[in-house]
Amino acid sequence: MSHPFDTLTPDLVLDAVESLGFLSDARVLALNSYENRVYQVGIEGAQPLVAKFYRPGRWSDAAILEEHSFTAELADCEVPVVAPLQHGGRSLFEHQGFRFALFPRRGGHAPEPGNLDQLYRLGQLLGRLHAVGASKPFEHREALAVENFGHASLNTLLEDGFVPPDLVPAFESVARDLLKRVEDIYTRTPHQLIRLHGDLHPGNLMHRDEVYHVVDLDDCRMGPAVQDLWMMLAGSREERLGQLAELIDGYNEFHDFDPRELALIEPLRALRQLHYSAWLARRWDDPAFPPSFPWFGQPRYWGDQILALREQLAALDEPALKLF
């Protein structure tokens, strides 16, 4: 069976960019992206542009424009983000059935794991981002919740037959136990939903010339502030405590962090584990996925997942990280 992205050829990419009045130099470089398709396109006499083609059927136009509006709002408040370019008063375009946006190219490298100086500055950046994010809600983008990231993910994996039959009982048992514990912690943990980046792992932060830029707000949504913080932490519990202190010190300069949300770190990690497997399952008909993730669906993968979920279930019973 064909996939919609099969028709997204280099010529179509060039035609889409040139339909907005740019003159390309015919150089197209595919960038690392699976959910959407992203290309660097050379422009005659100017810096290359980055063209992002949205996965058909994933987001509504209103949801994409809400992402663009949030990014522009952040840029207007001098939060360093890579915002889509405006052309003729618009940021979302269509060409031969594909919706796309153009961005300026921003190079750089991800932060160094555990670098305390960097974490303080990242905290300042995230505090500024969340100060804007907390000012009003999204209207067209879903929230991060146990139902959609947890239960819906588990249902996808069980109903679509990705888990080997002999491993289904063990996988389903530990996953349901995990989700029950996650729900319990969510219910008793006070938290406020604000507009977030939503997928802020270090790869979505570019560091160059002493400036960090936030990139790829494709997954922005409503959720607890700690969702954008916990993936900055790495290492042992003692190391993470020191990193957390630096991160929150910087964050609190621009936005007040509620330390009660720290109890959600391990539940959010659990939801991310299930959601990641379900994401692979939902995208398996995309021809880019099987060669890029050949281990997915193999019995060993699911055995490892059962072990990882059991370890995560145990982590939910450990004391939450605390600020001192």
Single-letter amino acid code for the residue at 129: L
Q: CA 274, 258, 224, 276: dihedral to nearest 10 degrees?
A: -20
The secondary structure element, H or E, covering residue 221 is: strand 221-224
- Write down the catalytic residue from 160, 177, 199, 304: 199
Cβ pair 157, 277 in contact under 8 A = yes
Binding residues: 204, 216
DSSP label at 96?
T
Using the structure block, give the residue that is written with the tokens 């790869």: 203
Q: Which amino acid is at 83?
A: A
* Other beta carbons within 10 Å of 196: 29
Q: Which of 6, 11, 76, 216 is catalytic?
A: 216
Q: How far is CA 225 from CA 191, 256, 302, in A?
A: 8, 10, 31
Annotation: binding site for Mg(2+): 204, 216
Tokens read off for 303: 């055995």
Nearest one of 218, 205, 220 to 107, comparing CA atoms:
205
Q: Identify whether 199 is a catalytic site residue.
A: yes
**Other residues' Cβ atoms within 10 Å of the Cβ of residue 142:** 15
- How far is residue 141 from each of residues 100, 138, 216, 222, 303, measured CA to CA in Å? 18, 6, 15, 7, 34
Alpha-carbon distance of 71 to 83, in angstroms, equals 6
Task: List Cβ neighbours of 243 (8 Å cut-off, separation of 6 or more).
Answer: 114, 116, 119, 232, 233, 234, 235
Q: Would you please indicate which residues are annotated as catalytic (active-site) residues?
A: 199, 216
